[in-house]
Structure formats: structure tokens, C-alpha cells
Structure 1
Amino acid sequence: MYAILDIETTGGQFNEEGITEIAIYKFDGHQIVDQFISLVNPEIPIQPFVVKLTGINNAMLRSAPKFYEVAKRIIEMTTDCIIVAHNADFDYRILRTEFRRLGYDFNAKTLCTVALSQKLLPEQTSHSLGKLVRALGIPMADRHRASGDAMATVKLFKMLLDKDVEKAIISGLIKSEIQKGIAPKLLDIITSLPSKTGVYYIHNEESKIIFIGKSRNIKKRVNQHFTGITRSAKKIQAEVFTVTYEETGNELIALIKESQEIKINKPVYNRSAKKNHFSWAIYSEKDNEGYLRLKLQKIDGRKKEIISYTNAADAKNALFRITANYHLCQKLTGLYETRTHCFQHTINECDGACVGKITASEYNERIQNFIDKNSLDNKNMIIIDRGRNINERSAILIENGVFKGYAFYDLNYQITNPNILKNILVPMESNKEIQRIIQAYIRKNKSLKIIHF
């Protein structure tokens, strides 16, 4: 659990400042579960430049509660939480100073979103909160007020969690829980998980990820791990300490994250069960007469496939449909073996490429139409899909045929420009497996919104 906060102060000499406003949002890694926002009477004057910056003046604070009156609520909001703030050293120092004045030793672990953004968003020219949220398209209200800055920090932190593909932030939280001796039982873990689409991470007692999976129902899938009787399921049951998850809103991002994060984190039980999801593919090659032929065969990493499939039956059925839809010849697509013309030519459903009745250039144009429609080569597109809630959408960027990454964005901000999208993108490396995942998803979901640029 995280306590994401922002504090406004009177200004003044080091360790003599007083708090004028505090906002704390308790965040479980997915959503805000509690909040506390209050003006605070510092009992000392506010510096004029601070009044100009925040709009908070001495008159506004006369009837506000003093720090000792809100101290109990602050402790309730931050107990067993990691404190997150933009420039956390400052906010944490101010809190400790105020509590010290009350004779209480306030201690907590902290995370600084300045340091996190410098590590995870190195391309940004500035890591100040105002400039960072503008560059990332994060909506912000009440700048330099505690509630506005704290809410912007929540949204920034959510984005940083997405970009932390090595899961260093989450691992730090789990290490904190381990130190407290919190070890939830399997049933408690399942109860805490959502029945939504996303990626889940099974951690052992050293906070290491031992398995990564994706599902359209995270709760149901993890329950299968915990009730399974296979050797790998029994090992997971014996070693699991906790399960974390990320909702993705749609299956495409879940598939991409699962594929890439397995490669990055190398979970021990994914490696033992590793398999190639795509085993068959359609290739094209030119015959001696100059006709392009489609060829169905097992995946060959040395060749460039047009489309790939998970099994031979699906691939062959698809090739029959492709042959019909593009008016191709079953002999030249390997579906009808013959020394003469194909059977479809006998019933006038093939115009004779198999016996040279149409030219190679005319036939090859149909093959090329098929390749152009189904290949990502040299294409620039943004794939728009569902987000994690009704107010959000997701975007996947393909540039020059290469997958660049994904992002979630608020519906108030329409993403149609790739340059805007790049600022909020969770960058990922492209590889053949991810290209195949994207192609398969586009084929399966005909109503996807795709923006070409």
C-alpha cells in the first residue's frame, strides 16, 4: 500500500517551516482506497512569495485545525504504507519535523517520483512535476495546492508502475511486507484479485517473481494454479508468498506484457513451461514460371512469414479462406496437389494460373494485395482498444512496421498524433513473437479502431 502525498508549507528557514495544507491519497497500486485533504493552521506567518505561489493566505488558516488535531488521521493514512511524493525528501522531512515537535518519532519508507521518473523517463527534459505532467498529457488542476499536486503525483506514479517492466517498485513493496511478516494464505490471495483482464505476477518469499501469466479473468486463472495437481502447480503452491497484478483492459496488451516481461524477469516456472505460441506460418516464394506461391509450413526463424498460426489445422483452414477471398489457385497455394490444373479450375472457380491462362504479374498482384493487407511491414498505425476503466482507452504504436510500445490515456485526451503518444508510451522492444501476437489480434478483432498515419 502507498500513501501518496503533497504538503504545502509557510516557507522560511530550514526546519522552521510549518504545514499549511496536506493531501494524502492511499493507493493500492491500482486505485485510490482512501483520502485525507485539509488546510492546517501553522501558527506562524506564511512567507509572501508562498502566498503568491499557492493562493493560501494567513486569513484562510485562522479557523483551520492545528497539526496536532490532524496528526492522528495522518498516522492512520500512512501506517503500513510506503510514502510516495514528488521530491519525497522534502515532504518526509517536514512531516518528521512536525511530529518531532509533538514528541513523536515518525518513521516510514519513502519513494520519490522525481528519482523514479529520472530512471524510467530519462528522455524527458525536465522532471519537475508541472513540466512532467504537461509532457505526459496528465490532466492537472489546482497546481501548487496539496490536493492538485498529490492527485497529479498519483497519476504519474500509476504511469511509472506501468513503465517499470522489471517490477522493482512492486518488489520493494513486497520486501516491506515480508519484513512485517505478512504472509497471506492462498484463499486470501485469491479473494484480493480481480475478475478482470490483465497480467499477474506470482512472488516467492524473497519477493522474486517465479511465474508470470495473463488471463481475461485473473482471479479464476490464479485459482487454477492454487488448486492444480500438476508438478509445476504444486511447486508454485509451495513457494508463493503473494500475487500482484496489472489490469490491462484488453487481451492484446496482456499478451504483449506477458511475452516481454517473461523475457525480462525470467521467472523460473515460466522457463520450465516455455513454448512457442505460434508454430505454423504462411510464406511466399516465386516458382520457375514467375508465379508467387503461398506455402504453409512450420515456423522457420530464418524466413520472413506473412501470417503465423498456433497450430496446423487453424493455418490450413485460414489458407483455404485466403485462397477463396483473393481468388487464388489451390494448386499454387499447396492445397491441391496435381500435375495439371486444379479441381477449382474444372468447376470454373479458378481462372487458370495453374495452367498459365493468366499472367504471373496479374496473379502476383492478388498475392501482393494479400501480403499488403496482412503484413505489418512499413506500416504506421495506432491501434485503439479498451482501457482499464470506462474513462480510459489504450493505444499501441506501430512505426515503420515495428512495435514501439503501449499507453493508456484519459478519454478527455484524444490520441491521434504519434508524437503526443510517444510522450506517454511504455516503450517495449519489438520481436517476432510480439509482431505475431499483434497480427493475430488484429485478424481476430475486426472492429478494432486503427489510425493510419
Structure 2
Amino acid sequence: MYTIVDIETTGGKYNEEGITEIAIYRYDGHKVIDQFISLVNPEREIQPFVVNLTGINSNMLRNAPKFYEVAKRIVEITEDTILVAHNAKFDYRILRTEFKRLGFEFKRKTLCTVELSKDLIPDQESYSLGKLTRALGIPIADRHRASGDAFATVKLFQMLLDKDLKKNIIQEAIRQEPKYQLEPKHLDIIESLPSITGVYYMHKADGEIIYIGKSKNIKKRVNQHFTSTTHKSKKIQLQVATVTYESCGSELVALLKESEAIKQNKPIFNRALRRTIFTHALYHFIDEDGYINLKIDKVDGRKSPITTFSNRQSAKSFMFTSVDNYKLCQKLTGLYPTKSNCFNYTIKTCEGACIKEENPEDYNSRVQQLIDKNSFKNQTMVIIDKGRDIDERSAILIQNGIFKGIGFYNLNYQINNLEVLESIITPMENNRDTQHIIKSYLRRNKKLKMIHFDKIGNL
């Protein structure tokens, strides 16, 4: 559990500042579950430059509560949480100073979104809250007011959690929260989980991730783990202390995040899933007569496939459909071995490439359409899918045929500039598994929106 904090002060000498406004959002890693926002009478003068910056003046604060009147609420809302702020050293120092004046020692673990951003979103022009959120497409209202800056920090922190592929932030949080280290009942864990599409992480008491999974219904899937009687499930049941999760909205995003997370974290109970998740591929070659032939074969790492499949049967099913859709020859696609014409030529649905009646250029142009449709080679595009909320969408970036990563954006934010898009993307590894996941998902979901860019990043 986290509390995202932003504080506005009077300015002045070090450790003599007073709080003029405070905003605190209690955040469970997915949504805000409580908040406290208040002006505060600092009982001292506000520096003129601060008045110009924030718009908060002494007249506004005359009837505001003094710090001792809001101190109890601050203690309550931040209890058992990690305090998160943009430049956390400043906000935490101000809070500790104010509590020290009351004779109370205020202690909380802290996280700084400036430091996290430098680590997880490197090479930004600036890490000031205003410039960073603008670069990342995070809307920010009431700049230099506590509530606006704190809520923008919530959105930034959510993005940082997404980009933390090794889950260091969450694992550290579990280690620091003793209540999660008690042996919880499995029913309590299940009750805390949502019925949403996403990725879930099973942790031991020390935070170590022992299993990662993906599901369209996280609550139902975890319940299956806890009620299964298989040897692996029983071992997981004995070791699991808590389950955390990431909402993904899109099944494609969940599949990609699961694949990447397993490779990054190497959980002990995910050994089977670390292996390649497909067995067959579609390859092409040009025969001695100039026709492009297609062939289903076992995956060969030395060759570049058009697309890949989980098994031979799904590959053959794809090819039968493609022969119909593109009016291809059964013989030249390996579906009808023969020395003469294919069966489709007999029923007049093949143009005769099998017996050299059709011109190779005409036939090859249709084969090339299939190849272009199912291969990302040299293409730069963004696949748009569901987001985690109704006003959000997910973006999967393919650049020059290479999978670059995924991100989320608000519908009010236009994804029409490749450079801006790259800043919100969480970089992920391009490998045969990710290519297979994306291609097979697109085959099943033909109506997904795709935005194509040219070689220099324009629409």
C-alpha cells in the first residue's frame, strides 16, 4: 500500500518552512482508495515568489486549519504505507519537521518518483514533474497546487509500476509490510483479487516471486491454483504468502507481460513456461519455375518464418483458410501432394499455378499479400487494444518489424507521433515467443485497430 503525497510550503530558510497545502492519495497499486486534501495555515509569512508560483496567499489561509488540527488525519491515512512523492526527500523532510514541532516522531518508508523515473525511464530531457508528465502524455491540472501535482504523481507512479518488469518495487513493498508475512488463508487472498484480465504474481513471505500467470479472470484462475490437487499446485499452496497483480485490459498485453515477466524473474514454478511456446512455422521459397511455395514445418531457428503456430494442426487450419481467402494452389502450399494439378483446379477454384497455367507474377502477388499480412518484416506500426479503464487504450509498438514494447495512453492523448509514443512504451525483449504471441493473437482478432508509420516515423 502506498500514499502519494505533494506539499506546498511557504518557502524560506531550511527547516523553517511551513506547509500551506497538502494532498495525500492512498493508493493500492491499482486505484486510489482514500484521499486527504487541505489548505493549511502555516502561521508564518509566505515568500512572494511562492505566492506567484502557487497562487496561494495569506488571505486564503486565514481560516484554514493549522497543522496540529490535520496531523491525526495525516498519520491515519499514511499508516502502514510507503510514502511516495516526486522528490520524496523534500516532502518527507517537511512532514517530519512539522511533526517534530508537535513532539511526535513521524516515520515512514519512502519512494521517490524522480529516482525511479531516472532508472526506469532514462534519457528524458528533464525529470521535473511538469516536463516529465508532459513528455509521457500524463494530463496534469492545477500545476503547483498539491492536489494536481499529487494526482499527476499517482499516474506517473502507475506508469513506473508498469515499467518495473523485474517487480523490484512490489517485492520490496511486500518485504516491508509485516502483515503480509503472516500465513494468510487462501480464501483471504482470493477475496482480495479482482475478476479482470491481467497478470498475477505469487510471492513468498519475503517477496520472492515463485509463480507468474495470465488470465482473463484473475480471481477465478488463482482459485483454481488453490483448489487443484496436482503436485505443483500443492507446492505453490504451501509457499504462497500473497498474490499481487497487474491489470492489463487487453489479453494481448497480458500475454506479452506474462512472457516477459517469466523471462525476467525466472520463478521456480514457471520452468515449463520458459520454453518456446510454439512448435511449427510457415516458411516460403521460390521453386525452379518462379512460383512462391509455402511450407509448414517444425520451427528451425536458422530460418526466418512468416508466422508461427502452437502445433501442426493449427498451422494446417490456417493454411486451408488462406488458400480459400487468397485463391492459392493446394499443391504449392503443401496441402495436396501431387505430380499433376491440385484438387482445387478440378473444381475451378485454383487458377492453375500447379500446372504452370497461371502466370507466376500473378500468383506470387497473391502469396505476397498473405506474407505481408502475417509478417511484420520492415513494418512500423502500433496495435491498439483495450486499456485498463474505459478512457484508456493499450499500444503495442512494432518498429521495423521488431517488437519494442507496450504502453497505455489516455484517449484524450493522440498517438500520432512515433517519438512521443516511444516515451510511454515500456521496452520489452523482441524474441520468437513475443512474435508468435502477437501474430497468433492478430489471427484470432482480425478487427484490431492498427496505425502504420513510414520509415521516418510519420503516419
Same fold (TM over 0.5): yes
Secondary structure of the residue aligned to 1:245 is strand
Q: How does 1:231-270 map to 2 (within 5 A)?
A: 231-270=231-270
> How far apart are 1:223 and its partner, in Å?
0.8
Q: How does 1:222-233 map to 2 (within 5 A)?
A: 222-233=222-233
Q: 1:277 maps to which residue? A: 277
Name the CA distance, whole Å, in 1 between partners of 2:393 and 2:351.
Answer: 46
Q: 1:391 maps to which residue? A: 391
Q: Map Cα deviations across residues 70-105 of structure 1 (whole Å, 9 max, x no partner).
A: 000000110000000011111111111111111111
Q: Map Cα deviations across residues 213-269 of structure 1 (whole Å, 9 max, x no partner).
A: 111101111111111111111111011011110000010110111111111111111
Structure 2 counterpart of 1:336, which letter? Y
CA distance 1:183–1:26, change in 2 (3 Å): farther
Q: Map Cα deviations across residues 265-307 of structure 1 (whole Å, 9 max, x no partner).
A: 1111111454432212211122233322111112222111112
Q: How does 1:368-383 map to 2 (within 5 A)?
A: 368-383=368-383
Q: How does 1:132-281 map to 2 (within 5 A)?
A: 132-178=132-178, 181-281=181-281
> How far apart are 1:344 and its partner, in Å?
2.0
Which has the larger displacement, 300-309 or 266-275? 266-275
Q: Map Cα deviations across residues 308-331 of structure 1 (whole Å, 9 max, x no partner).
A: 111222211111111122121111
Q: How does 1:236-385 map to 2 (within 5 A)?
A: 236-385=236-385
Q: 2:110 maps to which residue? A: 110
Q: Map Cα deviations across residues 140-180 of structure 1 (whole Å, 9 max, x no partner).
A: 11111111111111111011111110111101110112477
Structure 2 counterpart of 1:148, which letter? G
Contact 1:200–1:245 under 8 Å retained in 2: yes
Q: 1:78 maps to which residue? A: 78
Name the CA distance, whole Å, in 1 between partners of 2:338 and 2:422.
Answer: 52
Structure 2 counterpart of 1:397, which letter? L
Contact 2:180–2:205 under 8 Å retained in 1: no
Q: Map Cα deviations across residues 338-366 of structure 1 (whole Å, 9 max, x no partner).
A: 22222222232222222222233332222
Secondary structure of the residue aligned to 1:381 is strand
Name the CA distance, whole Å, in 2 between partners of 1:437 and 1:272.
Answer: 17
CA distance 1:429–1:290, change in 2 (3 Å): same
Structure 2 counterpart of 1:45, which letter? E
Contact 2:181–2:241 under 8 Å retained in 1: no
Name the CA distance, whole Å, in 2 between partners of 1:417 and 1:196.
Answer: 31
Name the CA distance, whole Å, in 1 between partners of 2:362 and 2:86.
Answer: 63
CA distance 1:86–1:238, change in 2 (3 Å): same
Structure 2 counterpart of 1:314, which letter? S
Secondary structure of the residue aligned to 1:165 is coil
Which has the larger displacement, 51-60 or 68-77? 51-60
- 1:439 equivalent in alignment to 2:430: no
CA distance 1:254–1:430, change in 2 (3 Å): same
Moved over 6 A (4+): none
Secondary structure of the residue aligned to 2:144 is coil
Q: 1:416 maps to which residue? A: 416
Secondary structure of the residue aligned to 1:127 is coil
Secondary structure of the residue aligned to 1:232 is helix
Name the CA distance, whole Å, in 2 between partners of 1:166 and 1:279.
Answer: 28
Name the CA distance, whole Å, in 1 between partners of 2:448 and 2:283.
Answer: 26
CA distance 1:272–1:431, change in 2 (3 Å): closer
Name the CA distance, whole Å, in 2 between partners of 1:444 and 1:306.
Answer: 16
Q: 1:9 maps to which residue? A: 9
Name the CA distance, whole Å, in 2 between partners of 1:9 and 1:417.
Answer: 38
Q: 2:19 maps to which residue? A: 19
Name the CA distance, whole Å, in 1 between partners of 2:371 and 2:273.
Answer: 33
Name the CA distance, whole Å, in 2 between partners of 1:397 and 1:181.
Answer: 39
Contact 1:2–1:84 under 8 Å retained in 2: yes
Name the CA distance, whole Å, in 2 between partners of 1:322 and 1:280.
Answer: 17
- 1:57 equivalent in alignment to 2:57: yes
Q: 2:456 maps to which residue? A: none
Contact 1:23–1:38 under 8 Å retained in 2: yes
Percent identity of the aligned residues?
63
Secondary structure of the residue aligned to 1:95 is helix
Name the CA distance, whole Å, in 2 between partners of 1:301 and 1:181.
Answer: 44
Q: 2:100 maps to which residue? A: 100
Secondary structure of the residue aligned to 1:7 is strand
Contact 2:209–2:265 under 8 Å retained in 1: yes
Contact 2:25–2:36 under 8 Å retained in 1: yes
Structure 1 counterpart of 2:412, which letter? N
Name the CA distance, whole Å, in 1 between partners of 2:318 and 2:196.
Answer: 30
Structure 2 counterpart of 1:417, which letter? N
Q: Map Cα deviations across residues 360-398 of structure 1 (whole Å, 9 max, x no partner).
A: 333222221211121111111111111101011111111
Say what the alpha-carbon RMSD is for the aligned residues: 1.4
Name the CA distance, whole Å, in 2 between partners of 1:294 and 1:272.
Answer: 31
CA distance 1:181–1:441, change in 2 (3 Å): closer
Contact 1:397–1:418 under 8 Å retained in 2: no
Count, aligned residues: 453
Structure 1 counterpart of 2:216, which letter? R
Q: 1:40 maps to which residue? A: 40
Structure 1: give runs of 5+ residues left out of the alignment.
Answer: none
Contact 1:212–1:262 under 8 Å retained in 2: yes
Contact 1:86–1:153 under 8 Å retained in 2: yes
